[in-house]
């Protein structure tokens, strides 16, 4: 084997190691366990499709980003199709709990981010929904802290308008 060739990604190993993390992320964004399981499978199917093109240097970051992007796209598509919110979200709204506030934040952020660039959407979800600080967001997205700060600052200005 050539020493410059990086072996393909072992999808089965990644599924065992990182599947629970991906499922939690999908569940957090989608607010529904069944939808999260479907999203988990779709993320790993996409990983299988592109495994020969990817490097296995930071798999948790890659899978976290893939899950985030997939779920945000799924939510955006549902919103465009006029799909109503899942029953669990409706029940959470009626309960007045922390879950309600999470659902409200997620839905408000969805509406705001619909027209934003992908990297801005990712940064906003990580910062506002997941509660990561700027340094953590920059590490997750492999961007500078200043770049993340600028994106969030521009987003806040657009929201105020």
Q: Is residue 145 part of a domain?
A: yes
Query: Do 85 and 150 have their domain in common?
Result: no
The whole domain housing 77 covers 1-95
**pLDDT-derived band of residue 96, with 50, 70 and 90 as boundaries?**
very low
User: Taking the chain, what is the end-to-end CA distance rounded to the nearest angstrom?
Assistant: 58
Query: Do 10 and 82 have their domain in common?
Result: yes
Q: Is residue 20 part of a domain?
A: yes
Q: pLDDT value at position 98?
A: 57
Distance CA 67, CA 34 (A): 15
**pLDDT tens, residue by residue, 51-90:** 777 666 678 788 888 898 888 888 877 777 765 555 345 3
How many domains is the chain partitioned into structurally?
2
Query: Do 120 and 88 have their domain in common?
Result: no
CA separation (Å) from 13 to 7, 16, 42, 55?
A: 14, 5, 16, 14
Contact indicator for 32, 88 with CB cutoff of 8 Å: yes
Judging by beta carbons within 10 Å of its beta carbon (0-12, 13-18, 19+), is residue 3 exposed, middle or buried? exposed
pTM assigned to the model:
0.53
**pLDDT tens, residue by residue, 1-56:** 333 333 567 888 888 988 988 998 898 888 888 889 999 999 998 888 877 776 66
Q: pLDDT value at position 60?
A: 79
Query: Do 90 and 121 have their domain in common?
Result: no
Give 3's DSSP letter.
Answer: T
Q: pLDDT value at position 99?
A: 55
Q: Is residue 108 part of a domain?
A: no
């Amino acid at each position: 084997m050539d020493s410059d060739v990086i072996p393909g990604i072992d999808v089965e190993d990644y599924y065992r190691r990182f599947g629970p993390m991906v499922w939690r992320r999908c569940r957090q964004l989608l607010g529904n366990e069944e939808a999260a399981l479907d999203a988990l499978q779709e993320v790993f199917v996409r990983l299988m499709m592109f495994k020969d093109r990817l490097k296995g240097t930071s798999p948790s970051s890659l899978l976290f980003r893939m899950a985030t992007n997939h779920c945000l796209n799924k939510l955006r598509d549902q919103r465009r199709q006029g799909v109503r919110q899942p029953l669990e979200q409706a029940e959470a709204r009626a309960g007045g709990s922390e879950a309600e506030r999470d659902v409200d934040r997620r839905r408000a952020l969805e509406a705001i981010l619909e027209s934003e660039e992908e990297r801005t959407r990712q940064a906003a979800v990580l910062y506002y929904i997941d509660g990561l600080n700027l340094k953590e967001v920059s590490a997750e997205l492999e961007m500078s802290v200043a770049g993340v700060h600028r994106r969030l600052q521009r987003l806040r200005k657009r929201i105020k308008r």
